[in-house]
Amino acid sequence: MSSDPDFLPFTRPAIDEATIAEVAAVLRSGWITTGPKCRDFEAALSQRFGGRPVRLASSATAALELALRIAGVGPGDEVITTPLSWVATANVILSVGATAVFVDVDPATRNIDLERVAQAVTPRTRAIVPVDLAGLPVDRDRLYEMARRHGLRVIEDAAQSFGANWRGREVGASGDLVAFSFHANKNLTTAEGGCLVMNSEAEARCFEKLRLQGVTRHADGGMDVDLLGGKANLTDVAAAIGLGQLRHIEAFTARRRELARRYFERWDRALGCALPPADFEQSNWHMFQPLLPLERIALSRGAFIEAMRAQGIGVGVHYPAMHLFTLYRERGYAPGDMPAAEHIGARTVTLPLFPLMRDEDVDRVCAAVTRVLRPVLT
C-alpha cells in the first residue's frame, strides 16, 4: 500500500460515519463478542434470502468447512471444484479429510465447466463446490440439474457474489448450502467474517454447535457437548459493520456495474486484452479482470504491475491456477492438466473497481494501461 493520497488501490472498503458510530456504541456497550448485533445481522441476512436460515462465522473459510461437515463430507469422499479461485475453496476440502478433484474452467465465464463436472463424477463423489469468480454467477439451472442427476450436495462458494443474481434470483435465496465472505476486500465487509445460508433449522443448529466447541446449552444453565466443534463465531463489533454495509449494498452493486460499464466503454480494444463477460445484470462486479495479451507484448505480468504502480495504480492477481501450488502438485496435479485455468491464471490482472471510485478514476486506469502496453506491443 502507498501513502500517496493519489494512489488508487485495486479495492477499498466503503465504511460510512453512521457505521463507525454503531461500532463505537458496541465497544461502549460492555458486550463486544457474539450477541445481539450478530443475531440482528443473521435475521437481516435471512430476510434477504427469503427466510432461509443464516448463521455467521468468523470467515467464509470456516463457513465452507462447516458446510462440508454438515453435508457429511469426510475421508474417502471426493469433492469437485474449480482450480481458479482463492485457495481456501480447495483447502477446506482437504481440511475435512476429503479429496479435492479439480476440473477445468469454461474459458468464456472463467467459472467451473459444468460439462466437465459431469465427466469427473465417480462413485466416491459427494459434493461440488462451485465459485462465482469475480461475482459472475455459475449457471444455477444447469448446476442443480447436474447435482440432482448425480445425487451430489452443492456447497456454493459465493464468497465473491453477494448481491449477484442468476436470472433475477438472488444468489443465496435458493440452492443448497451457500457461503459468503465478509473479508475486507469483498462487496460487503465486516473486516473479517462470513456466513452460511442453509436449508433447515436442523442444519442451522448443527452449524451453531460446530462453530462453538460443539456446545448445546440447556435451559437450566447446564450444557452438553456431543460432537467436536471448533471456534468460528463472529463478534458483535464485526456484525455492526455488516449491518451498516447491508444498508448500502444495493447502491454498492449498482455503482460497481456502472464503473464496469465505463471500463468497457473506455477500454482500448487495440491492446488485445481479453475482457471478462459483459454481464451488467447478474454479476455484482466484485472485480474487473482483463487478461494480458502476453503473446503480443514484450512485458511480463510482474513488469506490468510495477509499471502501473509507478503510475499510482494498484493491480492485483486473482488468481494463479491453484492445482499448480505445491500442496496440490503433491496430490498428483501437473502443468497442462487444466489448460484454460492455467491460461487465465497466468494472464489475469485485477484493476481498481470499488464503489467509492469516481468515473474519472476508470478513465485514468484505462489511459495508464494504454500508456504501459502500447509501446510494448509487438
Ligand X SMILES: *Cc1c(COP(=O)(O)O)cnc(C)c1O
Amino acid at 136: L
Count of residues of this chain found to bind ligand X when the rule CB under 6 A is applied:
14
With respect to ligand X, which residue has the nearer C-beta, 86 or 252?
A: 86
Taking CB under 6 A as the rule, which mask of x and - marks residues 78-107 in contact with ligand X? -------xx-xx------------------
Restricted to residues 27-86, the positions that interact with ligand X (CB under 6 A) are 59-61, 85-86
Restricted to residues 110-169, the positions that interact with ligand X (CB under 6 A) are 131, 157, 159-160
Q: Is position 289 an interface residue for ligand X (rule: CB under 6 A)? A: no
With respect to ligand X, which residue has the nearer C-beta, 59 or 282?
A: 59
With respect to ligand X, which residue has the nearer C-beta, 179 or 292?
A: 179
Q: Apex CA 246: angle with CA 245 and CA 250, to 5°? A: 105
Measured distance CA(207)–CA(259) in Å, rounded: 37
With respect to ligand X, which residue has the nearer C-beta, 61 or 289?
A: 61
> Strands 99-102 and 78-81, how do they pair?
parallel
Task: Provide the minimum distance between the beta carbon of 356 and ligand X in the complex, in angstroms, as a whole number.
Answer: 20
With respect to ligand X, which residue has the nearer C-beta, 345 or 369?
A: 345
Residue 9 burial (C-beta neighbours within 10 Å; 0-12, 13-18, 19+): middle
With respect to ligand X, which residue has the nearer C-beta, 135 or 364?
A: 135
209 is catalytic: no
Measured distance CA(183)–CA(16) in Å, rounded: 17
Task: Provide the minimum distance between the beta carbon of 219 and ligand X in the complex, in angstroms, as a whole number.
Answer: 34
Task: Provide the minimum distance between the beta carbon of 60 and ligand X in the complex, in angstroms, as a whole number.
Answer: 3
C-alpha cell at 377: 506491443
Footprint of ligand X (CB under 6 A): 59-61, 85-86, 88-89, 131, 157, 159-160, 181, 183, 194
Q: Catalytic amino acids?
A: 186
